[in-house]
A and B are shown apart, each in its own frame.
Chain A
Amino acid sequence: MTRPASLSRGVVNVLLTVATVYTLLPLTWLLFASTKTLNDLYSSPGFAFADFNLGANLSAVAEEGGGIFFRWYLNSVLYAGGGALLGTLISVMAGYCFDKYGFRGKEKLFGAVLLGVLVPGTATALPLYLLASKVGVVNTFWAVFVPVLVNPFGVYLARVLSSGYVPGEVLEAARSDGAGDLRTFVSIALPMLKPAFVTIFLFQFTSVWNNFFLPLVMLSDHNLFPLSLGLFSWNNQGTAFPEFHTLVITGSLLSVVPLLVVFVFLQRFWRAGMTAGSIK
């Protein structure tokens, strides 16, 4: 009885370990690669240290293009941080309203939101560019910032989470104490929705930080690039100037590390969003 059980326990854990190794392999390689000179990148084993050149690589990243990497970093923080913060507030307001208020045509309107979830982002990015160039806002900060404020999935999530986190009785009590709708939302509902806010914020932050197609289409001014587009432009120069390879690798490491750290600390919120999103 114990033998087959222990056998399958072994198989289960071996399979999971294989998957873990597969997952960690590229990130481990990135860690090693970012410590190497260009020559060692080609000539030394991928999963071992050669001459430790991380310091020089970091300063090369910092110096390239007059420190433009930091500019890209700041841009990414503004697009992803600012966009997700404002976008989450907008989503939570709408989701809360869908959950707690009744009005005519509500479910039809909510249906439009769900349709928005299903329309692929890249399929709308190009039409968005065409319209933006007509209006003349292409190649501006707003061309990337404004579209990311709209997050239909966030509205859907906010509605689901609002019905779970905010009891209607509490709102009714606030109302009977004479609090207006806005005041009730800001001082009663919003604090209760804090976990929902963090969850939606994280989802939106990750997706904006990861966004590549929209900035690629909208921006040509290097000073407005987010990290993703900046690294892409460096990578394109790698064909002609091989030294860009170390810049791309070290720059990639620098843009991934903070995300991984934030993730490890806030993972339970990601899970909350995913599981809430899958209840349907």
Chain B
Amino acid sequence: MSSLTTLDRPAAGPAGGGRTGQGSLKREARRRRGAITLFLAPFFVLFAAVLVAPLGYAVWLSLFSEKSSGLGFGGSQTVFAGLDNYLDTLADPAFRDGFAVIAGYCALYIPLMIGGALLLALLLDSGLARVRRFFQLVLFLPHVVPGIIAALIWMYLYLPGVSPVVGALESGGIRWDFLSSDKVLGSVVNIALWEWIGYNMIIYFAALQAIPREVIEASTVDGAGPVRTALRVKLPMIRGAVVMTMLFTIIGSLQLFTEPMILADASAGVVSTWTPNMFAYTEAFSKNDYGQAAAASLLLAALAAGLSYAVTRFGARRGA
């Protein structure tokens, strides 16, 4: 950031030497403003068009609803509904069930994800791991696989008759129906874990590598074993990385859509409003209720923003 100010000063080099009057200073400032606009405009014009404007339009839409007149003849008309769409959405049992699903999903997924990724990163960093490059490479691979394809592959691995996993479990005397309504949540968690655990592991591993080696040596000299060093010395030093991945994991969890959408075909446990995102999608495309869909999307976005804020604040306070 030290270079930040270098271009703020009007150029005083040889080229500017001949024209240091008030007029050229002004011209200089105008030219600089032009450059800033040129660099920033493409991003912010698009940012406004595909992020700010749609959210604004959604707020507008969410305040109206379609009322079919009388017996349904003569089409419907749009009426101002105030906060009705929000209240209806919040009161809808399907929407609230969706949040219960997400809550259950987070309760299962976040500890397994963060704990698992931390464990793998600490194992790699322990100095005892062989072929570290190979392990890192392979564990990161799923991140490159599109989510939809990951979900499709796992769907087959859950499908009785096709799945070698179900077959292997059965020959071991375990009957496990991955797609039954009480187990499908765990099956979705598994897909998400497969996709993201290596990604988070790499972030933690990089953070661990950045810890000064003297700190770890000091702990070893003090007589701490590798496990104690990992928990008491290494973990607290990578808190920033953990908070950041936690944040992205929570935002990602709220958006849960692709994986259950794929499993919905195969599992009776996944209904069309299983997660809040699926609820919004169904409202928009099956029921054509854009007001309700907009309200649901905005509630979700607000929750995501609120949670991110809470996590960053919490992380910052603990880190200080």
Binding site for B on A (CB under 8 A): 5, 8-9, 12-13, 15-16, 19-20, 22-27, 29-30, 33, 41-42, 45-47, 90-91, 93-94, 96-97, 99-103, 109, 112-113, 115-116, 118-124, 126-131, 134, 146-147, 149-150, 152, 155, 163, 166-169, 171-172, 175-178, 180-182, 185, 206, 209-210, 212-213, 217, 227-228, 231-232, 235-236, 238-239, 248-249, 252, 255-256, 259-260, 262-264, 267, 270-271, 274-275, 277-278, 280
**A35 to B: closest C-beta gap in Å:** 14
Q: Does B301 contact A (CB under 8 A)?
A: yes
Partner of B135, one of A16, A115, A128, A270: A16
Chain A residues contacting B240 (CB-CB under 8 Å) are: 278, 280
**A131 to B: closest C-beta gap in Å:** 4
| 13 further A-B pairs in the complex, CB-CB below 8 A; given A8-B128, A175-B7 | A8-B126, A16-B135, A29-B164, A102-B4, A119-B51, A127-B57, A150-B50, A171-B6, A176-B11, A177-B13, A235-B152, A260-B145, A270-B140
> Which residues of B from 108 to 148 have beta carbons under 8 Å from A?
119-120, 123-124, 126, 128-130, 135, 137-148
From known contacts A9-B128, A99-B4, infer whether A172 and B300 are also in contact, taking CB-CB under 8 Å: no
**B110 to A: closest C-beta gap in Å:** 16
Chain A residues contacting B300 (CB-CB under 8 Å) are: 120, 123
Contact B145 A212 (CB under 8 A): no
**A24 to B: closest C-beta gap in Å:** 6
Partner of B58, one of A101, A130, A177: A130
Cα-based distance from A94 to B47 in the complex (angstroms): 12
Partner of A178, one of B15, B61, B147: B15
From known contacts A13-B130, A93-B39, infer whether A248 and B50 are also in contact, taking CB-CB under 8 Å: no
Q: Does B73 contact A (CB under 8 A)?
A: no
Chain A residues contacting B34 (CB-CB under 8 Å) are: 181
Q: Does B63 contact A (CB under 8 A)?
A: no
**A206 to B: closest C-beta gap in Å:** 6
Partner of A100, one of B4, B31, B120, B164: B4
Contact A147 B50 (CB under 8 A): yes
Cα-based distance from A244 to B202 in the complex (angstroms): 36
Contact B39 A124 (CB under 8 A): no
Binding site for A on B (CB under 8 A): 1-8, 11-16, 31-36, 38-40, 42-44, 46-47, 49-51, 53-55, 57-58, 61, 119-120, 123-124, 126, 128-130, 135, 137-150, 152-154, 156-157, 161-165, 167, 194, 197-199, 202-203, 206-207, 226, 240-241, 244-245, 247, 251-252, 254-255, 257-258, 262, 265, 277, 280-281, 284-285, 290, 293-294, 297-298, 300-301, 304-305, 308
Count: A-B pairs, CB below 8 Å: 307
From known contacts A12-B126, A123-B301, A278-B240, infer whether A155 and B265 are also in contact, taking CB-CB under 8 Å: no
Contact B147 A212 (CB under 8 A): yes
Contact B3 A116 (CB under 8 A): no
Chain A residues contacting B147 (CB-CB under 8 Å) are: 210, 212
Chain A residues contacting B257 (CB-CB under 8 Å) are: 122, 212-213
Contact A168 B153 (CB under 8 A): no
Contact B144 A172 (CB under 8 A): no
Cα-based distance from A9 to B262 in the complex (angstroms): 40
Interface pairs (27), CB distance under 8 Å? A8-B226, A12-B126, A15-B123, A16-B129, A23-B138, A27-B153, A29-B153, A33-B156, A90-B46, A101-B32, A118-B251, A119-B51, A120-B255, A122-B257, A122-B277, A123-B255, A126-B294, A127-B297, A127-B298, A130-B58, A172-B13, A175-B7, A176-B16, A181-B32, A185-B39, A252-B153, A255-B149
From known contacts A26-B157, A94-B39, infer whether A116 and B51 are also in contact, taking CB-CB under 8 Å: yes
**A113 to B: closest C-beta gap in Å:** 8
Contact A101 B8 (CB under 8 A): yes
Chain B residues contacting A168 (CB-CB under 8 Å) are: 2-7
Cα-based distance from A280 to B315 in the complex (angstroms): 12
Contact A24 B206 (CB under 8 A): no
Contact A122 B57 (CB under 8 A): no
Contact B3 A166 (CB under 8 A): yes
Partner of B206, one of A90, A101, A122, A275: A275
Chain A residues contacting B305 (CB-CB under 8 Å) are: 115, 118-119
